Chain A
Amino acid sequence: MSQTKKFMYINRKAPYGTIYAWEALEVVLIGAAFEQDVSVTFMDDGVYQLVKGQDTSGIGMKNFSPTYAALGDFEITKIYVEQESLEERGLTLDDLQHLVWEDEDEDYAEKDSIRLVSRAELGSVLAEQDVLFNF
């Protein structure tokens, strides 16, 4: 591998009202094959993408939220969720899917993928990245 860059995919929109949440996830999944140092952020209304119990039968759209649970299998282990975004929306971490990855270096021990960060901490995380994707 000639070069590895720090890729950050940023999600700020709720699912279903627009297609951005789904089409962003498609980039993340395809991008996983390129072996870069990948992180994903959910902030502002993007936190709604991870909320549990989505039932889309009444709006006739495909519920794609189970796909987030597969991110760990695609070696995406750094998922940042912004604290202020949750609080503003009356949400807590408990409202979100419990996303995990299996650490093959530790006997496939299951570890949390979600890192709850403050806006200030997120600012520092973004500053460390090389490439920022927005949708």
Chain B
Amino acid sequence: MSMLHLVNKSPYENSNLKTATSIMNDGDTLLLIEDAVVSAVKAGKASAMLDGCKVSVLGPDLAARGISEDKLVDGIDVVDYTGFVDLVESNDKVQSWL
């Protein structure tokens, strides 16, 4: 059983990303959408929270915020909305950290 964790708020705004990454189990996936995509910028302090997690990030939300893929942490998977749907399907349930 694995869970898809959705985080949509910037880690510089609130602690949802901290909560999600600290409670995630092995085998779970974290998907960053909306303002949370800023977490994935390698040069940002918050990207350290992503260490050790399986992370995907929504491409359209990166592009909207002017974040190019070369700025991202290594090993992160950029997906589109179809990829988002696939992640929901391939995990047993979805936890939205609102």
A19 at interface by CB-CB < 8 Å = no
A126 and B3 contacting across the interface, CB-CB below 8 Å: yes
Give which listed residue, A12, A43, A123, A131, contacts B93 with CB less than 8 A.
Answer: A131
**B44, chain A: closest CB distance, angstroms:** 22
Secondary structure dominating the interface of B: mixed
Given the known A-B contacts A44-B19, A127-B1, are A134 and B25 also in contact in the complex, defined by CB atoms under 8 Å?
Answer: no
In whole angstroms, what is the CA distance A12 to B1 when docked? 24
A130 at interface by CB-CB < 8 Å = yes
Q: How many residues on the B side are at the interface (Cβ–Cβ under 8 A)?
A: 15
B95 and A132 contacting across the interface, CB-CB below 8 Å: yes
A126 and B95 contacting across the interface, CB-CB below 8 Å: yes
Given the known A-B contacts A44-B19, A126-B3, are A132 and B93 also in contact in the complex, defined by CB atoms under 8 Å?
Answer: yes
Which residues on A are within 8 Å of B, measured CB to CB?
A: 10, 12, 20, 43-44, 119-120, 122-124, 126-132, 134-135
Give which listed residue, A122, A127, A128, A134, contacts B98 with CB less than 8 A.
Answer: A134
From 12 to 69 in chain B, residues with beta carbon under 8 angstroms from any chain A beta carbon are 15, 19, 22-25
Q: Which residues of A contact B98 (CB under 8 A)?
A: 12, 20, 134-135
Q: Which residues of B contact A43 (CB under 8 A)?
A: 19
A130 and B93 contacting across the interface, CB-CB below 8 Å: yes
In whole angstroms, what is the CA distance A49 to B96 when docked? 20
Given pairs A12-B19, A12-B98, 19 additional interface contacts (CB within 8 A): A10-B95, A20-B98, A44-B15, A119-B22, A122-B23, A123-B23, A123-B24, A123-B25, A124-B25, A127-B25, A128-B1, A129-B93, A130-B93, A132-B93, A132-B95, A132-B96, A134-B97, A134-B98, A135-B98
